[in-house]
Amino acid sequence: MKVDKLAMLTDFYELTMGNGYMLSGKMDQIVCFDMFFRKVPDDGGFAIMAGLDQIIRYLRDLKFEKEDIDFLRQKADFDEQFYNYLENFKFSCDVWAMPEGTPIFPNEPIFVVTGPVIQAQLIETVVLLTLNHQCLIATKANRIVRAALGRSVMEFGSRRAHGYDGAVLGARAAFIGGCIGTSCTVVEQTFGIPAMGTMAHSWVQMFDSEYEAFKTYAEVYPDSCTLLVDTYNVLKSGVPNAIKVFNEVVIPRGFRPKGIRIDSGDITYLSKESRKMLDEAGFQDCKIVASNSLDEYIIRDIIIQGAMVDTFGVGERLITSKSEPVFGGVYKLSAIKKDDVWIPKMKLSENISKTTIPGFKQVWRLFDRTTGKAISDLITHKDEVVDDSGSYTIFDPEQTWKQKTIENFTAKPLLIPIFNKGVLVYESPSLHEIQAFCKAQISTLWEEVLRFENPHSYYVDLSQKLWDCRDHLRKSMSGA
Amino acid sequence: MKVDKLAMLTDFYELTMGNGYMLSGKMDQIVCFDMFFRKVPDDGGFAIMAGLDQIIRYLRDLKFEKEDIDFLRQKADFDEQFYNYLENFKFSCDVWAMPEGTPIFPNEPIFVVTGPVIQAQLIETVVLLTLNHQCLIATKANRIVRAALGRSVMEFGSRRAHGYDGAVLGARAAFIGGCIGTSCTVVEQTFGIPAMGTMAHSWVQMFDSEYEAFKTYAEVYPDSCTLLVDTYNVLKSGVPNAIKVFNEVVIPRGFRPKGIRIDSGDITYLSKESRKMLDEAGFQDCKIVASNSLDEYIIRDIIIQGAMVDTFGVGERLITSKSEPVFGGVYKLSAIKKDDVWIPKMKLSENISKTTIPGFKQVWRLFDRTTGKAISDLITHKDEVVDDSGSYTIFDPEQTWKQKTIENFTAKPLLIPIFNKGVLVYESPSLHEIQAFCKAQISTLWEEVLRFENPHSYYVDLSQKLWDCRDHLRKSMSGA
C-alpha cells in the first residue's frame, strides 16, 4: 500500500547483476527491455492494461534509504561502489507504455524501458508484479462485467484477496474493468471508487428475529434500506419480512426501499420468486442484489435462465481471478545500443514458446476508418512510421502466406512516452476516465474477439522490417 | 505492507452495522465470532495456520486517524456519536487462535473473538483477508515442499504475486510451509528469510557470448558461482560453458562451483544429462537448481522419473496457489452473552454446507500417547474439559453411529489466548520457530492424511454436549 517504499521489493538477482554490471564496466550500457505476456487468461480474446499509475509512482519515488543500504552491506558482498551507487540512485530511463484501459494482446510489448542496464534491470520485479496483478484483475472483471449484460457488478472480494494490496489494488483494477464499486472502505478513500455495503448475516442473528433485525436496520437507514434475506429462508421468511418492514418503516418515512440481497441458494429461482413477491407488494423499483461465488460463467447462465438480478456482488472469483490466477507477463532484454545503433537481442530458449521478439519497438493499432473497428495490431521498429494514407499489407508472422491488404485505415501508436530521461512526461487520467476509455476501446473490438470461449485470434503482426530482423536473428542463433 | 494503517481496510458494511448497533443500543452486546474454513485447497488432507502475527499487529495498533474520520463524515451519514466512537476506538476484545504452523482442518474454529459486537464485527475483513491469504500459501508451499522429498524449495514468485503484500506476506507464509528461502530482497529485510538469486537471461544476453557472460559472473562471484545455463541450449552450450568457466575461473581462485540453474525445457532429461556432465568434470558437489512453472505435481513426477535436481525454485504456482487460489475462510457469529450466559447462535442458510457450529468453543487435538500421532480433533464448548486420564468415545458428528473409544491419549487445547480484554498476552515465536513447529506438528499426522490425492479425512468431532446443542438449535430453527 505504501508505494514509496518499494525499492527493496526486488528480486535479489537484480542486485547481484547490478553489482556485476558495475564491476564489469557494463552498468551504463544502454539497453531496451520489453514487458509482454504470452497468453490471455481464461483463453479470452484480449486482456486489459492496468497498473501503470502505480508503476509511475514507484519509478518517480524510487530511492534507497540508509537502512536499506545498511541491510545490504550486512547481507551481501557487493562492491563499495555499488552501495554508493544505490545510495545515490536516480532513475534516468525512458519509459513507454500503453495507457491503462487499453485492450492488450499476447506477444506485443505493453511497457518498454530504455536506459542504463543497471537501472532497467533493477525495476523488473515491481514492473512485472504490478502489471501482472492489475492486468489480471482488470481482465477478469471485464469478463464478468460483460457477462452481466448491462447489470451492475460490484467487487466484493477483499476478504479473499492475496494480502492488503491484493484487495485494494485489485479493487482498483476491477473498477478499470468495469465494476461500479467495491465493498472495501479504504478503496474509496484511496481511489474514489464507491464503497458500498449494508449488513452481514451476523446483523440478522444479533436480533431475536429476522423481522426485528430488518426493522431496526430500516429505522437506522430508511433512505437506503437494503436487506439481506437469506439468513433463514429467502422465500418463507426473508422476503416476507423485508416487505413487511418496507411497508411499516420505509414507506411511512417517505422513502422507497432500495433492495434485497441474496447470498446463498439457487440465485435464479430465488431471484425470480423474490421479484414476483416484491412486485406484487408494489416494490417494482426495489433492486435485487445477488452474491455467492459468482463469476462470468455463472452470471451468464443465470441470466439465460431468467434470473431477476439487478446487481451482482462478485468476490473471490474476481479478486483472485480464480479460474486463472496468473498473468504471465515477462520482462525481457530486446536490444542493446552500440555506437548509437540498436542491436536487437533475442532469447531462443529451450521452449519455442519462450522465444522473444527482438528490437526496440512500437505497437500500432490499425482501425478501419468506416467501422471504427480495430483490424490488427502491428509491431514495428520504434523508428518506423506506418503510413495510413494508402494501402498496407499485413501478414501472419508465423504463416507468412496469410496476407491481407488493408485500405482506408488509421494507424495509432499504442506505446506512449511516460518518462523521458527519468522525468515524468505523462499525466495519468482519473480512474473514471480510465474506466470510460477502457469501455470505449473494447467497443472497437469485433464481437468475435470478445467471445468468452474460442474467441477469434486478433491479429498481432510484425512489420516486414521487424520480421526480417527476427528471421535473421533466429537463423544466426539456432547455430549457436 | 504497512500493517499499522489497516483500520479503513474494512468492508463498508462493518461500519454500517457498527453505526446501527450503536443507534439500536446493541453496541456493547458481548458476542463470539469464529473464523473457520470449509474445504482444504487442492482437496488436501489438512491446511496450515499462518498470518496470526500480522493480525496481532493489526489489532494491537488499530486506530482511526483524523483523516479517516473526516473521510467517513463526508461519505456516510452516520451518527455523530459513531464518529466519536471511531475516533477514540480502543480494541478491548478477547482473542484465541491456533498458533501459526498448526495443521488445521475444515469446520473447526481457528480464530475466536469475544467482546462487544461493534468491535468484533469491525475486524472481520482484515482477519479474514490475512488468514485466508497466508493459510492458503503456507498450505500450498507445504504440499510443494513435501513433494520435493527433502530437496530444497525456494519461493520465486514475487513477479506474479497479487500485489506487494501478496509477494512479501506470501513469501512469509511459504517459509512457514517449509520453503528455505525467497527470491525477494525485502522479504529478508522484513522477515529474515534468506533471499537468494544470481542472474537472469538478460545477463547472458548482455555479453557477446554465453561463455563471456559466465566468465564475467564467475570473476565477480567466484565463491558463490551459480550459472543460468538455458539461454541458448543447455547441453550443447550452457553446461559446457559453465564447466569451462568453473575450471578457468572458480577453481584457480580456490573455490568450488555452487550450481547451475535450468529454467526451461524438459527438466528431467536436462538435469540428468547435466548431472552426468558435471560429475564427469569433477563437480559432483555442484548443485542443480530447476525452475519454470513447477508445482507439487510436476515435482513429484520429475523426481519419480529420476530428475537430478537439488533445489526447486517455485514461482507463480506457489505464490498464487494457482490450482486453487482461494482459501474460503469465513467469520461467523456463534454466540451471544446474555445475563452472563452464552446463548449459541447458528446460521442455517439456503446451502446446508454453509451451516455453522454454534457456541463459544475450544478445539482439542487428541494424540496417541504411544505413537505420538494425532487421532482426532474434538470441538467442545469453551468451558468443557477433556479428561485424558481414562477413555473417551468420539463419534462422527453427521453419522453418529460411527464411534470410536480411545484410551491412552493426551488432549491438547489448540486455541490459545492471544488478547485478554484488548491486551496482548501472546508472544509470537520467531519465523524459524514457527517453521520448525509446523514441521513437527505435521509429523504427528498419519501418512494417509498427508496424501495429495484422496487423503484420509481426519476426524473433526464434536463433544456430546456441543452436538446436543447444535442438534437442538437445528431442530428449533428449521421451523423458523
Cβ–Cβ gap B350/A68 under 8 Å: no
Q: What is the pLDDT of residue A475?
A: 85
- Measured between beta carbons, the chain B residues lying within 8 angstroms of A137 are 162
3-state DSSP percent of chain A in helix, strand and coil, to 5: 40, 20, 40
For residue A435, give every residue at least 6 positions away whose Cβ sits within 8 Å of its Cβ, in sequence order, or none: A101, A175, A176, A178
Residue type, B351: N
The predicted pLDDT at position B4 comes to 52
A289 lies in the same domain as A178: yes
H or E element, residue B153: strand B152-155
Specify the length of chain B in residues: 480
> Which of B79-92 are b and which e, b meaning 16 or more Cβ less than 10 Å from the residue's Cβ?
eeebbebbeebebe
With beta carbons less than 8 A apart as the criterion, state whether A259 and A288 touch. Answer: yes
Give the whole-angstrom CA distance, residue B199 versus residue B156.
13
Q: Is B205 on the interface with A (CB under 8 A)?
A: yes
pLDDT level of residue B480 (50, 70, 90 thresholds): very low
Residue A122 and residue A179 share a domain: no
Tell me, yes or no, whether A152 and A91 share the same domain.
Answer: no
The partner residue sitting opposite B200, judged by closest CB among A6, A13, A237, is A13
The pLDDT, as a whole number, for residue A352 is 64
Rounded to an integer, the average pLDDT of A417-432 is 98
Instruction: Verify that A150 and A251 share a domain, yes or no.
Output: yes
**Is the CB of A165 less than 8 angstroms away from the CB of B160?**
no
Chain A 420-449, residues with CB within 8 Å of chain B CB atoms: none
pLDDT score at B351: 62
Same domain for B350 and B277: no
User: Is residue A466 a part of any domain in this protein?
Assistant: no
Q: For residue A378, give the 3-state DSSP assignment.
A: strand
Model confidence at B1, pLDDT cuts 50, 70, 90, reads very low
Whether A200 and B158 lie within 8 Å, measured CB to CB: no
Question: Is residue A367 in a domain?
Answer: no
Among residues A269, A304, A319, which one ends one of the domains? A319
**Do residues A165 and A291 share a domain?**
yes
Do A216 and A184 reside in the same domain of the chain?
yes
Find the helix or strand (DSSP H, E) in which A393 lies.
strand A392-395
In a domain, A392, yes or no: no
Interface of B with A in 283-302 (CB under 8 A): none
The rounded distance, in Å, linking the Cα atoms of B377 and B394 is: 9
CB contact under 8 A, B232 and A348: yes
Rounded (10°) angle between helices A124-147 and A164-176: 50
**Domain ranges, residue B243:** 198-286
Whether A337 has its CB under 8 Å from any CB of chain B: the answer is no
ipTM associated with this complex: 0.96
Chain A hits for B197, Cβ within 8 Å: 11-16
Distance from CA of B332 to the nearest CA of A (A): 7
Residues of chain A contacting residue B1, judged by C-beta atoms under 8 Å apart: 1-2, 5, 164-165
Contacts with A20 from chain B: Cβ below 8 Å: 199, 203, 216-217, 220-221
**CA distances to A14, A29, B210, B437 from A118, in Å:** 8, 8, 19, 41
The H helix count followed by the E strand count for chain A is 17, 21
Q: Evaluate whether residue B238 is within a structural domain.
A: yes
List the grid coordinates of B401. Answer: 453411529
Q: What is the pLDDT of residues A101-136, one digit of tens each?
A: 999 999 999 999 999 999 999 999 999 999 999 999
Q: What is the CATH number of the domain that holds B98?
A: 3.20.140.10
- Strand, helix or coil for residue B424: strand
B121 close contact with A: CB closer than 8 A:
yes
Distance CA B352, CA B349 (A): 7
Give the pLDDT band of residue B384 (cuts 50, 70, 90).
very high
Residue B334 contacts residue B360 (beta carbons within 8 Å):
yes
In terms of domains, do B14 and B72 share one?
Answer: yes
Q: What is the pLDDT of residues B256-303, one digit of tens each?
A: 999 999 999 999 999 999 999 999 999 999 999 999 889 999 999 999
**Predicted local confidence at residue A1, as pLDDT:** 42
B234: cell is: 543447455
Q: Does B83 touch chain A (CB under 8 A)?
A: no
Please name the residue that has the C-alpha cell 446474555.
B338
Q: What pLDDT score does A3 carry? A: 45
Give yes or no: residues B354 and B447 share one domain. Answer: yes
Task: Take residue A284 and report the three cell numbers written for it.
Answer: 417494482
Alpha-carbon distance of A309 to A302, in angstroms, equals 9
Task: Give how many domains chain A has, as a whole number.
Answer: 2
Are the Cβ atoms of B325 and A325 closer than 8 angstroms?
Answer: yes
Please give the share of chain B, as a percent, with pLDDT higher than 90: 94
Cα B331 to Cα A153: distance, rounded to the nearest angstrom = 24
B396 and chain A: CB distance < 8 Å anywhere? no
- Reported as a pLDDT band with limits 50, 70 and 90, residue B353 is low
Give residue B418's pLDDT.
98
Quick check: B162 and A161 CB within 8 A?
yes
**What average pLDDT does the segment B246-250 reach?**
98
pLDDT digits (tens, 9 = 90+) for B83-139: 999 999 999 999 999 999 999 999 999 999 999 999 999 999 999 999 999 999 999
Residues in A touching B184 (Cβ below 8 Å): 9-12, 125
B52 with B108, same domain?
Answer: yes
Residue A5: partners with Cβ closer than 8 Å, 6 or more residues away: B1
At residue A479, the pLDDT reads 57
Q: Where is pLDDT greater, at B301 or A476?
A: B301
Nearest CA-CA partner of B5 in A203, A189, A283, A328: A189
Pick from A16, A265, A327: CB nearest B197:
A16
Mean per-residue pLDDT, A91-104? 98
Which residue in A447, A370, A449, A366 sits closest to A414, CA to CA?
A366
Instruction: Say what the pLDDT of residue A393 is.
Output: 95
Asked if residue A407 belongs to a domain, the reply is: no
SS3 state of residue A119: helix
CA separation for the pair B368, B375 (Å, rounded) = 6
Of A271, A262, A50, A264, the closest CA to residue A142 belongs to A50
Q: Is residue A272's pLDDT more than 80?
A: yes
B406 near A CB under 8 A: no
Taking phi over 0 as left and psi of -120 to 50 as alpha, with beta for the rest, B11 belongs to: beta
Of the pLDDT bands very low, low, confident and very high (cuts 50, 70, 90), residue B3 is very low
Residue A62 has pLDDT above 70, yes or no: yes
Residue B264 sits in the same domain as residue B330:
no
The answer to whether position B400 is within a domain reads no
Q: What is the pLDDT of residues B29-45, one digit of tens each?
A: 999 999 999 999 999 99
Residue B407 within any structural domain of the chain: no
- Cβ separation A230–B349 shorter than 8 A: yes
Do B133 and B10 share a structural domain?
yes
Give, as one character, the DSSP assignment of residue A392. Answer: E
Q: At what angle do helices A296-304 and A267-280 cross, to 10 degrees?
A: 50
Percentage of chain A lying above the pLDDT 90 cut: 94
Q: In the structure grid, which three cell numbers stand for residue A342, read together?
A: 540498436
**Quick one: pLDDT at residue A285?**
98
pLDDT for A353 beyond 90: no
Residue of B74, B134, B202, B215 to mutate, interface with A, max A Cβ within 10 Å: B202
CB of A271 within 8 A of CB of A279? Answer: no
Give the separation between CA A46 and CA A142, rounded to whole angstroms.
Answer: 10
The answer to whether B270 contacts A336, with C-beta atoms less than 8 Å apart, is: no
Euclidean distance between the first and the last CA atom of chain B, given in angstroms as a whole number = 45
Quote the distance between the C-alpha of residue B106 and its chain's center: 14
CB contacts, 8 Å: B19 with chain A? 220
Cross-chain Cβ contact B320/A316 below 8 Å: no
Per-residue pLDDT band for A355 (boundaries 50, 70, 90) equals: confident
Closest by CA position to B132, among listed B188, B52, B14, B59: B52
pLDDT of residue B396: 92
Chain A residues in contact with B129 by the CB 8 A cut-off are: 158-161, 163-164, 167
Does the beta carbon of B240 lie under 8 angstroms from any beta carbon of chain A?
no
